[in-house]
């Protein structure tokens, strides 16, 4: 959804760097921005869950077998997805402005 407002690509990229999806919201891409914010938040929750599982296994509070593997796997998956979503968000926010100019 385009509001017809002229935006600055550099500002949109910086906003997406601060938090994924803010650049899209600044550009007037409300649905895309909220989707990216949701995906980034979900990825952060995956990182937190992985860190908790891994941390509990390190201090000896094992809840189930394979907890350390699941913890590390979730943590790494969350970090990778945050990075991929972040790079996409920054590049998309900047290139959207360039394509509209």
> Is 2 a domain residue?
no
> Is 16 a domain residue?
yes
> Is 65 a domain residue?
yes
Contact 41, 73 (CB under 8 A): no
Contact 40, 17 (CB under 8 A): no
Residue-wise pLDDT tens digits, 48-92: 999 999 888 888 777 777 888 999 999 999 999 999 999 999 999
Entry pTM: 0.82
> Is 1 a domain residue?
no
How high is the pLDDT of residue 56? 86
Number of domains in the chain: 1
Neighbours of 92 (CB within 10 A): 21
């Amino acid at each position: 959804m385009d509001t017809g407002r002229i935006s600055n690509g550099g500002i949109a990229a910086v906003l997406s760097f601060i938090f994924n999806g803010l650049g899209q919201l600044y550009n007037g891409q409300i649905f895309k921005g909220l989707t990216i914010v949701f995906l980034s938040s979900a990825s952060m929750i995956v990182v937190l869950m992985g860190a908790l599982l891994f941390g509990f296994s390190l201090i000896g509070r094992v809840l189930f077998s394979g907890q350390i593997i699941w913890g590390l796997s979730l943590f790494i998956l969350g970090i990778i997805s945050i990075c991929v979503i972040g790079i996409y968000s920054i590049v998309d926010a900047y290139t959207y402005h360039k394509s509209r100019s």
